[in-house]
Homo-oligomer: A and B are copies of this chain.
C-alpha cells in the first residue's frame, strides 16, 4: 500500500510538505505541488481513510438502516431510495453504510448504538419513522447528525423532508368522488408508523368533507406488503357491504389488492377503484395501470443526503423542514364508476 511517506521519500520531501500540498494549503510552492500531484498519480496513492478519521476527520460514510421486515423483502421504493442515496453521496465522495434490521427489534437499537459509538458513520438517514421514534430521541440526545423522511412527534426539530400525506389523500379522495366512487376502504400499515396516522387521518378527513360513508370495517391494518394487501382485499370484498374503492397506504400493498380484484373478476377502475401511494415505476405497468400519489423518491433521497452533509459540515440547512406535495397520477385503476358486479 502506498502511503504518504512513500511519496515524500520519492520526492525528497517531508511528509508534512506532501500533506500540505495535497490538502490545498496555500503555503506550498506551485512547483512542489505539481510534483506531488504527479507522483500521487503515478504511484496510485489514496489517503488511508482510517488514519484520516483517527486524526479527527470525517469518516466519509453516511448510515442507513434498511427497515426489512421479512426475509424476502421486496419493494421497489427502496431500490429507488438507495439509488438516490448512492448517487448523491457518490457525487460528494462519501459512501453509504447499509445494513438491515427488523424495525423495533433489539438488534436495530444495537446497530444504531454501535455505529454511533464506533463512529462508523458521520450521520444517519432515517425513514419509516414511528410516531414516537426511539432513534430520533437517541441521536438527538447524542448530538449525532441525522435527517429523516417524515417527522416524528417527539418534539424534536431535526432536518427532514415531509410529504404532505393529508393533502395527498384529499386529492385522491376528491378524484375518486369525481369518478363516482363513494364507498372507500383504506388498507394501511402498522399502527406505530407516522405515515399510517397521517394517511389514515387524511383519508378520514376527506371522507368527512365529501360526506362519504364511514365504516370501521373498511379500515384495515396491513404491513406494506403485497401479500398482506392481497389477503385484506379478499376480506374486504367478502364483507356484507363491500367498498367500491380501495385506497392503499403504498403501491406495494396496492399490487396485492389488484391481484385479488383481478382474480375475483372485478373490473378494476370501473366496478372498483384502486389507488396506491409512492409512484414507483412498477405502478405504471400493472393491469390496469395504477392511480397513485407520486413522491419523487429518487430526488428526496438525494436531497436528504445534501441536508445531512450540510448538517455534518456544520452548515445546518436554513430550512429544517422541507414540505413536498405528492402529485396525483391518474391512471386506469380509477377510470370511472360503472355498475357491473362480477
- Taking beta carbons and an 8 Å cutoff, which residues of A are in contact with B? 1-2, 44-51, 53-54, 59-61, 66, 68, 71-80, 82-83, 85-87, 89-90, 95-101, 107, 111, 113-115, 117-120, 225-227, 230, 255-256, 258-259, 262, 280-282, 284-289, 297-298
User: Whole-angstrom distance between the alpha carbons of A289 and B256 in the complex?
Assistant: 11
Name the residue of chain B whose CB is nearest to the CB of A111.
B90
Set of chain B residues within 8 Å of A107, measured between Cβ atoms: 90
User: Whole-angstrom distance between the alpha carbons of A49 and B54 in the complex?
Assistant: 9
Say yes or no: A45 contacts B111, CB within 8 Å: no
Name the residue of chain B whose CB is nearest to the CB of A115.
B95
Q: Please, could you name 8 A-B residue pairs with CB atoms under 8 Å apart, sorted by A?
A: A46-B118, A48-B54, A51-B54, A73-B298, A90-B111, A95-B115, A96-B99, A262-B287
Say yes or no: A71 contacts B298, CB within 8 Å: yes
Set of chain B residues within 8 Å of A285, measured between Cβ atoms: 226, 230, 255-256, 258-259
Say yes or no: A95 contacts B120, CB within 8 Å: yes
Given contacts A49-B50, A68-B86, A226-B285, 14 further A-B contacts (CB under 8 A): A1-B119, A45-B117, A49-B53, A50-B50, A50-B54, A66-B86, A75-B76, A78-B79, A87-B100, A95-B115, A96-B98, A226-B282, A226-B284, A259-B285
Q: Which of B54, B80, B99 contacts A86 (CB 8 A)?
A: B99
Query: How far apart are A77's CB and chain B's nearest CB, in angstroms?
Result: 8
Set of chain B residues within 8 Å of A75, measured between Cβ atoms: 76, 79
Set of chain B residues within 8 Å of A259, measured between Cβ atoms: 284-287, 289
User: Whole-angstrom distance between the alpha carbons of A215 and B333 in the complex?
Assistant: 37
Say yes or no: A87 contacts B71, CB within 8 Å: yes
Say yes or no: A118 contacts B47, CB within 8 Å: yes
Query: How far apart are A94's CB and chain B's nearest CB, in angstroms?
Result: 8
Set of chain B residues within 8 Å of A66, measured between Cβ atoms: 82-83, 86
Set of chain B residues within 8 Å of A289, measured between Cβ atoms: 259
User: Whole-angstrom distance between the alpha carbons of A99 and B120 in the complex?
Assistant: 16
Say yes or no: A46 contacts B114, CB within 8 Å: yes
Say yes or no: B286 contacts A49, CB within 8 Å: no
User: Whole-angstrom distance between the alpha carbons of A47 and B111 in the complex?
Assistant: 14
Say yes or no: A74 contacts B287, CB within 8 Å: no
Set of chain B residues within 8 Å of A47, measured between Cβ atoms: 118
User: Whole-angstrom distance between the alpha carbons of A289 and B259 in the complex?
Assistant: 8
Query: How far apart are A233's CB and chain B's nearest CB, in angstroms?
Result: 11
Q: Which of B46, B59, B83, B286 contacts A117 (CB 8 A)?
A: B46
